[in-house]
Structure 1
Amino acid sequence: MEIKLPLDANLQAALNKVSAAFPELKLNQVLEAKIVVNQTQLNLLTVNMAGKTLTLQTPLPLPLAAGQSLQLQVVKLLPTPEFKLIAPPLPANAKPTASGETPLLKLATAAAPAPVAAAGNPLPNLQLGQAVPAQVVSVGKQGMTLQLAMPLPASVQPATDNAAGRSPAPPITLDSRQLIEADPAKPALVPGSRIELQLVKAGAPPLFSVSLAPADSAAELVAAAFKQALPQQSSPLLLLNRLDHAFGELIADKTVGETLKHLALEILRAIPDKSALFQPGDLKTAVTRSGLFLEAQLAQAGRQQTPPTLADDFKLRLGKFIAQLALELKPAAAERTAAASEPLLRELLQQAEGSLAKLTLDQLHSLPKDDAPRQVWVLELPFLQNGKPDLLELVVEHDRDGSGNPNGQNNWVVSITITPPELATIHCKLSCYDGSVNTRFWSESADTVEKINARLDHLRRQFEEKGLKPGFMDAQQGKPAQEHSPIASPQSLLSEKV
């Protein structure tokens, strides 16, 4: 009696595939073939052999061109046919296999494993027309670095990712010659832009079409542009200290223009001494020239027959200084030898732009708000302390309803932040209500708080000598509460209702 054991399903499928393709296929047989398509990115070689078109899986990219003739020898039949490349021989610069022998080509069947992409890079698994989402990491002259969005479609998941697609793919850099702008009229791509990457041509190298992802709203594009265009804000004290320390070096450098030296000297000379802040007239002048009111003064000057002098305004001086620094550093400004102090000029330009950004943001904070009961001004006043630049931070609040009270009193709140020599930072809040001046101090240093408490009686007498009515006074350790801070950052720099 003849007994027939059942064949494994995968083995039976392989046998059926081989029988359907080549009923006469034999071991060690040599066959003539011609290359139809060489997909080096996918390690796939499509050939025409004995009137049939087959796709072969290669262990590595082979430097073979479409239309080239081959000779393949059958070296294995089951479970998947394998072929050895006889002719033409591979060039000398071709990469050998791990064993150093001629690579074997396997018949790509439905049961064959999918081509393995480079570690963490799913792009070789893309099919023509398929797109994947990505985010721009950086943009250079030679290419673009992208972070592929996760999770990716299952068909393009790299072999190193887990089944859930949770492992983030590493950034991928593509040459600019591999990228085609789908719509050149769209805004230029910047770091942070979300895009769709679509394979439009396979090969080595592949070509991709780049388009903005539909989810990228206009608000997101504006926010990304602001992040790239606006300088990082910084305190003007950084600029003034650096300028004061390096002024001698700037003056001694003969390659630096005289206009820039003159502007730097004007900025330093305009800093008032600490004693000027104790004089009402000098303090008012310092506040007026702080740069906070430049645009308002320009608008007012256009309506006056004798416009005020604005040359001493800090924002105006800062703008001139930045423009002159940019001119000095402009590569095509003049045919001159690079100044020895060029690194210093670049540092000053960065700090000046940061100071201007900080001043501009203070102006935005100081704009009147329709739904706020108070008008708030936020400003920083530089001054000289023992011949060195220092900074006084002021927040002035005016109660809009104060002018309507029965006594005709205006209600004011002034917040001051200062760091005196040999003392910790002091926060002071003076409030004027119903003619009384209430004063509160905060400091994180217990020693500083003790010294303030010891001098509160002296401050009370000074108020009385100036004709003011002193009210509540105290000093405590810590920081003032920020729940209702008038200088909280705005939600947006732009208003769609303008």
Structure 2
Amino acid sequence: MIIQPTSLAALAWAGAASGSAAESWRIGTVLSARPLGINPDGMMVLQIGALAVETEAPKGQLPSQFQVRVLTLGAQPMLEVISPQTPEPATQLAMRERLPQQNGYAPLLATLDALSQRPALRQLPAYLRPALAMLEHGVRTPAEITRGEGLEEAIKRSGLFLESQLAEPQLDMAGLSQEDWKGALLRLASLLDDYLPTRRPAPASTASETPPPLQQRGLQAQPRAMLPLALLDDDVDALLSRLHGEVHAALARVEVAQLEATTTSAWMIEIPLQGENGHDILQVQVQQHGEADSGSSWTFGFAIDLPALGPIHGELQLRGLRLSVRLWAERIDTVHRLEQQFGTLRQALSASGLTLDQLSCQQGMPQSTGQHSAILLRTTA
């Protein structure tokens, strides 16, 4: 059962989150809840702890009193209804554990850049240097992802499908560990745990700042991260300590995306890219609508923030052989540059047999359209 809050409920939480009413709201906290009734607008009013929120009336009937566990905070918190007779599902437990640990790839990639430029890196143990090189090898080039087969390979090796590939017969284990992003993260994390045994990585964010899972946030163009000036010296050990935490945070990020993929027909994939004088992150969302037997359609979204172009979003909707393409760019000069490529794109699509229904580019960023961007309660019933 999914219960989504109205904007009023989200605003009520946002206003209360800084006050004493929200002091008891922490990740993992169990709160008492009860339905107060239906208001004249047909919305259900719930009291959760010391707060009252409005939600869409659920399909099933809620008990007169129940408990919820806080999974995420922020302007749109997510809570799980606890069934006393049913143990917490393993996926929900794993999600709750990993959300406070996860972080984006940008800080990790910035630290990798800094390490690669340090001569003292050659003094690291021989077993650690190949693991760093393997992770860098997992970063794709723009030339690779601008080809269909290259993008397919980048998605396949993004870490999201590692375990399913491990289950395949006649698997090349050595090749997979070298090519898969999560495999490279796991190897480096294990070696850094041994190299820095007394330094445990801290969570990527505090409980009050824990963001929701990727699907709930929707596509986000992620800029490059800047390292603190204090780390831009020759202190390789300080950079490795920072890398230690960032590798574990990136692993949690991949695992959050994997856990989400078990409950929805959408996949959120992040692909690190080798850019000019640094690394960039391509975020891709693929979603299937309908059943394959009944003529399903697909939505392919992407977001990227390039230093030369700024933030860019795109959405491609494919229904049979009919395609609609919508682009957004924050900078007006980027809009003009993209529109100059429309003629070439139309020719390429026509040659591939697709019918182009729409091709547009506008200035500004789109509103998030994630179906799960406003989840308030996720029940176990």
Where on the TM-score scale, by shorter chain, does this alignment land: which range?
0.5 to 0.7
Change (3 A) 1:313 1:491: farther
Unaligned runs of 5+ in 1: 1-167, 169-189, 195-216, 333-338, 370-374
Q: CA offset at residue 262 of structure 1?
A: 1.1
Change (3 A) 1:368 1:436: same
Kindly provide the CA deviation profile for residues 255-298 of structure 1, in whole angstroms up to 9, marking residues without a partner as x: x3222211001111222211111222222111111001112223
Distance 1:366 1:389 in 2: 26
Matched, 1:278 2:146: yes
* Aligned pairs for 1:258-277 within 5 A: 258-277=126-145
User: Which of 235, 240, 243 is residue 345 of structure 1 equivalent to?
Assistant: 240
Kindly provide the CA deviation profile for residues 34-72 of structure 1, in whole angstroms up to 9, marking residues without a partner as x: xxxxxxxxxxxxxxxxxxxxxxxxxxxxxxxxxxxxxxx
Matched, 1:246 2:115: yes
Q: Which amino acid aligns with 1:307?
A: L
User: Which of 260, 268, 278 is residue 378 of structure 1 equivalent to?
Assistant: 268
Matched, 1:425 2:311: yes
Aligned to 1:361: 256
Aligned to 1:399: 289
For the aligned residue pairs, the C-alpha RMSD in angstroms reads: 3.6
Aligned to 2:354: 468
Q: CA offset at residue 469 of structure 1?
A: 2.3
Aligned to 2:373: 488
- Pick 1 or 2: higher relative contact order, CA cutoff 8 A, min separation 6: 2
Percent of pairs with identical residues = 24
* Aligned pairs for 1:164-175 within 5 A: none
Kindly provide the CA deviation profile for residues 445-495 of structure 1, in whole angstroms up to 9, marking residues without a partner as x: 22222332333222111212333322211111222232x414637657x97
Question: How does the TM-score come out when normalised to structure 1?
Answer: 0.47
Kindly provide the CA deviation profile for residues 343-362 of structure 1, in whole angstroms up to 9, marking residues without a partner as x: 21211012112211221222
Change (3 A) 1:348 1:489: farther
Change (3 A) 1:250 1:399: farther
Distance 1:489 1:259 in 2: 45
Kindly provide the CA deviation profile for residues 323-352 of structure 1, in whole angstroms up to 9, marking residues without a partner as x: 1111111139xxxxxx95322121101211
Secondary structure of the residue that 1:345 maps to in structure 2?
A: helix
Q: Which amino acid aligns with 2:134?
A: E
Secondary structure of the residue that 1:403 maps to in structure 2?
A: helix
* Aligned pairs for 1:36-75 within 5 A: none
Q: CA offset at residue 248 of structure 1?
A: 3.8
User: Which of 308, 319, 327 is residue 194 of structure 2 equivalent to?
Assistant: 327
Change (3 A) 1:424 1:340: closer
Kindly provide the CA deviation profile for residues 395-437 of structure 1, in whole angstroms up to 9, marking residues without a partner as x: 01112335313xxxx4111001122342121111011113111
Distance 1:237 1:341 in 2: 19
Distance 1:474 1:461 in 2: 15
Distance 1:191 1:414 in 2: 32
Unaligned runs of 5+ in 2: 1-19, 21-25, 31-66, 72-87, 200-233
Aligned to 1:257: 125
* 8 Å Cα contact 1:329-1:342 kept in structure 2: no
Question: How does the TM-score come out when normalised to structure 2?
Answer: 0.61
Larger Rg: 1
